[in-house]
Amino acid sequence: MKSTFFPALGLLLLGACQQPDQVNVKIVMDSTHKATLNGTYRLVSNIIITKGDTAHAYPVPNREMIKMFNGTHFAFFQHDLTQGKGKDSMFVAGQGSFTLQGDKYGEHLTYCTARSWENHDFNDFTLQVHGDTLVQQGIEKDDSLHVDHVIVETYVKVH
């Protein structure tokens, strides 16, 4: 009696469990893209082009930034290398879901230390991976944030 009761109870409980709905996850990519994208990348260059003017926004002395991908979500972290001491101390972080179809890439920023950026979509990017180098390029535009420029971010995979 015991040997059939517990497995049947387990199956009943397992069947009662529901999978949580996925929110803001819309990924279309083949296994090659997914396998090459997953990991941690260190930012090595960031160029911002606003109305034809080009600014090299990164590297910045005594700062470091990484971006991570896990197949459904991205996260980024930037901080000073002085552990929060000194006049240039800073910490910035954000996280959200992303879409990738071919080289077309978009982000939905769910969490961000710059709270006004939360829940905004940035969908006009291309993403290219060449060996250990990832290049994200495109338009970062949001009227409510007064943001309208092109970015070219170059990362190198560290893990």
Q: Please provide residue 8's backbone torsions phi and psi, each rounded to the nearest 5 degrees.
A: -65, -40
Tokens 């949001």 label which residue? Answer: 142
- Residue 6 in domain: no
User: Is 69 in contact with 76 (CB distance < 8 Å)?
Assistant: no
- Residue 96 in domain: yes
Sign of CA dihedral 81, 70, 158, 119: negative
Half-sphere CA count of 91, side-chain side, radius 13 A = 5
Distance CA 46, CA 25 (A): 26
H helix intervals, 19-158: 31-37
Query: What pLDDT score was predicted for residue 27?
Result: 35
Query: What pLDDT score was predicted for residue 14?
Result: 38
Give me the CATH number covering residue 88.
2.40.128.280
What domain count does the chain have? 1
Query: What pLDDT score was predicted for residue 36?
Result: 66
- Residue 131 in domain: yes
pLDDT, tens digit, 9 for 90 and up, residues 23-67: 333 333 444 455 568 999 999 999 999 999 999 999 999 999 999
List b or e across 114-132, with b for residues whose CB sees 16 or more CB atoms inside 10 angstroms.
Answer: eeebeebebeebebebeee
- Residue 87 sits in which domain range? 23-157
Concatenated DSSP letters for 115-152? GGGTTEEEEEEEEEEETTEEEEEEEEEEGGGTEEEEEE
Query: What pLDDT score was predicted for residue 86?
Result: 86
- Residue 66 in domain: yes
Q: What angle do CA 66, 151, 155 make, to 5 degrees?
A: 30
User: Residues in the chain with pLDDT < 50?
Assistant: 1-32
